[in-house]
Structure 1
Amino acid sequence: MPRRTNTGVRYLAEYKGYYRVTMAVPRQLQDQLGQRLVKGLDTQSLLIAKARAQPVIAGFKRRIEDAWTARGGKKHSLLAEALEVRKLLEDADEDMAHFLLQGVRERAEELLNKGARDEVVWDPDLGPEKRRVPTKEAIANSETFKGVVAGRTPIAYYHGDFMRTLKISDRSKLDEPRALALFTDWLMTRERPIDLFIENVTRTVALSYMDDMPAHTGLAWGSNAKYFGRLKFYWGWLARRGYAKESPFHDLTIAKEKVQHDEEERAFTDSEIQRLFMGDPPEGRSMLDVMMVAALTGARLDAVIDLRVGECDDGWFTFKPQKKEKSSRDVPIHPDLLPIVRRRIEGKRPDDDLFPEWPAPKAPSVKPRSSYFSKRFTKYSRDIKVRDELEGKRRSLINFHSFRRWFITKMERAAVPGDLIAAIVGHKRSGLTLGRYSEGPDMRAAIEAVGKVRLPPLDGSVVIEDRGLTPRRRRQT
């Protein structure tokens, strides 16, 4: 849906009936902040939206300015000038170095005098005397210029070089600038802001960020731990390259909150599976087919969405490696999936997508192909009220990944051996022998195991739930 910007306020737009602030990010900063900064204002009233928009707009502008500072300033900025002089000094001979240092002193003096005012002060020996009094901004600019020339380095100055050394997926690379942006935002929004230089990030600063991060970001533990870990990895890289004296984050982690078992994410119940498959999503079979493959293979959403015709036309699915998997894996096609597979491969070429209705986002986006499906599934599950939401939890305890949990649960309750289950769903198998040296279980055993998983009746019949050993929270009726 195109943005509506006829609100009379720049950066304020209407989207699906609600107002939000949306601001484009300069191209040079998009690897750090993304293409746009967007924040919903949670109102359908233009009047309220205008009132709420101003601090958000100011905050976005500050984030963009901080991002420029963190990477070394805009072209022709004071920071960029200081860094350029530093580069020249690194390669200069003695005469050139003397010339440049004299220029640095003159430039620092020029910055100090910019905007200065004359004041008459009383000197006990000389009497009244006129002096130039610099502004606070001029003092800061002069000190920053001298400091950067002498070796102080903006936090993100080497981040581009760091990113180019990473051997991870494009999707995972998105976490790196996000981690750095969260940190620099914290540095600049503290009661006493800290200038965005590598040398200012001490052990004390690192400890404070570790303690403050959960409240500052408002993210779940898993996200905070991930972003903190990526920041720690960057600082380790800086230390190994000699760009930082040491990594103040090296042995720090975000402590995991204790969670009651009945507050952890869980598998779908059979009743929930029944409601999901008997519902009528707007996308119809396009969504239901993806759900069915996930439910009867235990595969993750990314792996299902990315299937091609040639990866399922010989009796089994070949799923691409996910997470920490090192190679693709074959999973038998469940008998209940055969009609879906036959319908979808008919008349298609091996390289054709099995689910062409869910294409990948257009360039330059590096979001996974599954991202749009995930949003639509969340909406569908809300519409039919297949949710398990707790106050203070960002995500429902049941979500698309619950198909995978349900499949594993059903296999265990059908007495399928644990190592065979692990091989089918792509988990690490126990011990060195099976985990490293074995080529995997026999396909016939896997076919038999997958066939033991049975869907609940999809005709509206009463579902009698299995009783597991793990206690769950009793739901209020």
Structure 2
Amino acid sequence: MRKTALKSRLFRFHFEVNHRMAKWKKPVGRPFLALRGHTYYARLTVPTDARDYFGKTELWQSLKTKNLREAEYRAGRIIAEWKAQIETFRGNIGIAHKALEWRKVLDEERKKDQILIEQFTRQHGRPPTLAHEIDDLGLGTYSLVYGDEVERIYFEQGPEAAARFDDIVKGNSLPTLTYAEDYKASLKVIPRTLQQRETHLDYLNQRFPTLPVRRSEVARWIIEMETQNLAEATIKARIGTCRGYFEYLQRLDHLNPDEANPFEGHKYTRRKKASKQDLRQAFEVDDIPRLIDAAERKRRKDTNLVAAIKIAAYTGMRREEIARLRVENIREREGIRYFDIIDAKSKAGLREVPIHSELLALVDKLIKASSDGYLLPDEKITKNDERGDAIGKRFKTLRDGLGFDSRYVFHSIRKTVSTIFERAGVNHNEAAEIVGHEKTGMTYGLYSAGMSILQKSKIIEMISLKTLH
């Protein structure tokens, strides 16, 4: 009996609470409004991430009026202020972010108004034109509040701030990084390239806080970068990222799709002729044993660095390709063992490279000693998802100690291998298939399945560094 009575009291309690809540939240057919008795209230559900800041899940405030039109007007101001507080809590402070919030609100109102107008027109055979009809439908409420907001910014922050705010709301301009995260998510590039794109967009934002911009302004920016002696390739890469981002914004109608892309078709100042002193250099063949000997004699043993240099010297592989090699990437076919490169910079980099006879013992030793499944174990992964970065830094220290200048990098070993192939008379496409470059011509580049593992092995064995053991 006591159990039944308790259930009955709980039922009555929940019924009364729900009844009061239903009365409190009586629908009035208007967003952000509720009616309690005869008085209207502004109401907003607080986003989950801001509830700790406000200490509640909903915000309520009496509008002190029984008139629906007046309630809508007053609610517009209060809701806008609450949303501004939420954005401030989230760190989105400033005119641009407030303008984007207003843009959403007004867009939603326009859609709602259009539906109400269409319904009225179907019912009465004409659109609403009389003042009381517009009031009854509640058309353009936020537009009135928006006018007050522009006026407030004008007097508090000045005419330029008000004009910028209005341009963003009306879609005449857009804060540069508004859709940067969406753009980056749409890219199918390796982490290092993505990091470069992020850097380029930061430069864009520093130069042009809002878009669109005039083509002449972009040209002036290019000239300034040229006067800073930035490499032409660097400047073109930055402008290329900006061009792609602008095109993305146009495709999604965030910017006018009919407007010319201001980052297209620019000319660049022709630089002086390239000097051999400025170009990346290949190591001479007899430099490679010096590098390996110095790596082996390091006071602090560095097995990975020694192995990386040797593998690069006998394959022409990129530093990151070597660093990403796993034990299971060592395979065998037709009696020939090879590196199966399944993670590379480009499609051409996905390839099979025979293991040179001089590397067989080293590879077996690395497989046996591997502690984490990688051929070069225990290398830290950078934020760009690179395993070979630390190896490159240790190689730089080694290089400096031997007196080589900055033109010589780990990639220079790859140049050495290409030089060996060329001097041995290896066909361009055959060498390209081994080092992971695009092959030329449609017949070999597009249709051919490539050389056999035996053919590749014969070419790899042309690499001779007799003093290397």
TM-score (normalised: structure 2): 0.68
2:338 is the counterpart of 1:290 = no
Paired residues for 1:320-399 under 5 Å: 320-326=342-348, 328-346=350-368, 352-361=373-382, 365-387=383-405, 396-399=406-409
2:218 to 206, 212, 225: 206
Partner SS for 1:100: helix
Contact 2:329/2:339, CA 8 A, preserved across alignment: yes
Aligned-partner Cα distance in 2 for 1:348–1:368: 19
Deviation of 1:97 after TM superposition, in Å, equals 6.0
Summarize deviations over 1:83-136 as a string: whole Å, max 9, x none: 11111111214466622222122122222333xxxxxxxxxxxxxxxxxxxxxx
Task: Give me the whole-angstrom Cα distance separating, in 2, the residues matched to 1:326 and 1:267.
Answer: 22
Partner of 1:468: none
Q: What is aligned with 1:17?
A: none
Residues 147 and 283 of structure 1: CA distance in aligned 2, closer, same or farther (over 3 Å): farther
Q: Do 2:304 and 2:377's aligned partners in 1 also have CA atoms closer than 8 Å? A: no
Deviation at 1:327, TM superposition (A): 6.4
Q: Which residue of 2 aligns with 1:166?
A: 187
Q: Which deviates more, 142-151 or 428-437?
A: 142-151
Q: Deviations along 1:24-60, whole A, 9 cap, x unmatched?
A: xxxxxxxxxxxxxxxxxxxxxxxxxxxxxxxxxxxxx
Contact 1:203 1:248 in 2 (8 A): yes
How far apart are the structure 2 equivalents of 1:407 and 1:82?
A: 57
Distance 1:336 1:429, change over 3 A: same
1:384 to partner: Cα distance:
2.0
SS at 1:174's partner residue? Answer: helix
Cα displacement (A) at 1:254:
4.8
Matched, 1:249 2:271: no
Distance change (3 Å), C-alpha of 1:451 and 1:430 = same
Which amino acid is 1:417 matched to? N
Matched, 1:238 2:249: yes
* Counterpart-to-counterpart distance in 2, 1:352 and 1:147: 56
Give 1:144 shift: 2.4
Cα drift, residue 359 of structure 1: 3.2
How far apart, CA to CA, are the structure 2 residues paired with 1:450 and 1:293?
Answer: 12
Long gaps (5+) in structure 1: 1-72, 115-136, 188-195, 388-395, 460-477
Report the CA distance between 1:147 and its aligned residue. 2.3
AA aligned to 2:205 is T
Residues 232-282 of structure 1, C-alpha deviations (whole Å, 9 max, x = no match)? 111122222232233111223656633134532121013422321121344
* SS of structure 2 residue aligned to 1:331: strand
Which residue matches 1:197?
210
Counterpart in the other structure of 1:426 = 436
Aligned residue number for residue 341 of structure 2? 319
Kept in 1: contact 2:357–2:461 (CA 8 A) = yes
Aligned to 1:440: 450
Unaligned runs of 5+ in 2: 1-89, 114-133
Counterparts of 2:139 and 2:398, CA distance in 1: 67
TM-superposed deviation, 1:347: 6.6
Distance, in Å, in 1 between the alignment partners of 2:139 and 2:457 is 74
Q: What is the DSSP-based 3-state SS (H/G/I as helix, E as strand, rest coil) of the residue aligned with 1:318?
A: strand
1:330 is displaced (CA, Å) by 0.6
1:104 aligned to 2:146?
yes
Aligned mates of 1:232, 1:267 — CA distance in 2: 34
Whichever residue aligns with residue 239 of structure 2, its letter is: F
Inter-partner Cα distance in structure 2 for 1:324 and 1:113: 56
Q: CA deviation at 1:442?
A: 2.2
Report deviation, 1:229. 1.1
* Structure with the larger helix share: 2
Q: CA deviation at 1:340?
A: 0.9
Instruction: Indicate the SS of the match to 2:151.
Output: helix
Are the equivalent residues in 1 in contact too, given 2:349–2:435 (CA < 8 A)?
Answer: no
The Cα offsets for residues 312-336 of structure 1, whole Å up to 9 and x where unpaired, read as 2531111135333256211110111
Q: Of residues 101, 104, 111 in structure 2, which corresponds to 1:87? A: 104
Decide whether aligned partners of structure 1 residues 335 and 255 sit closer, same or farther in structure 2, where only a CA change above 3 A counts. farther
Check whether the contact 1:419–1:429 (CA below 8 A) recurs between aligned residues. Answer: yes
Q: Which residue in 1 is equivalent to 2:203? A: 182
**Deviation at 1:367?**
4.0
- Equivalent residue letter for 2:380: P
CA distance in 2: counterparts of 1:107 and 1:316, whole angstroms: 69
Aligned in 2, Cα 1:179/1:357: closer, same or farther, shift over 3 Å? Answer: same
8 Å contact kept, 2:315–2:417: yes
Indicate if the aligned counterparts of 1:229 and 1:253 stay in contact, CA closer than 8 A.
no
TM-score, scaled to structure 1: 0.67
Amino acid at match of 2:204: F
**Cα drift, residue 297 of structure 1:** 0.3
Deviations 1:203-227 (A, max 9, x none): 11121122222345x5433333222
Structure 2 equivalent of residue 409 of structure 1: 419
Root-mean-square deviation (CA, aligned residues, Å) is 2.4
For 2:183 and 2:433, the matched residues in 1 are separated by: 35
Cα distance in 2 between the residues matched to 1:353 and 1:198? 46
Alpha-carbon distance in structure 2 between the residues aligned to 1:87 and 1:80: 11
Deviation at 1:455, TM superposition (A): 1.2
User: Is the 1:319–1:330 Cα contact (8 Å) retained in structure 2?
Assistant: yes
For the structure 1 residues 321 and 431, does the alpha-carbon distance in structure 2 shift closer, same or farther, using more than 3 Å as the test? farther
Map 1:124-135 → 2, pairs under 5 A? none
For residues 249 and 97 of structure 1, the distance between their equivalents in structure 2, rounded to whole angstroms, comes to 41
**What percentage of residue pairs aligned between the two structures are identical?**
24
**Residue 401 (structure 1) shift:** 0.6
Structure 2 counterpart of 1:301: 319
- The residue type paired with residue 216 of structure 2 is T
1:113–1:256 Cα change, 3 Å: same
Distance in 2, Cα, partners of 1:145 & 1:241: 22
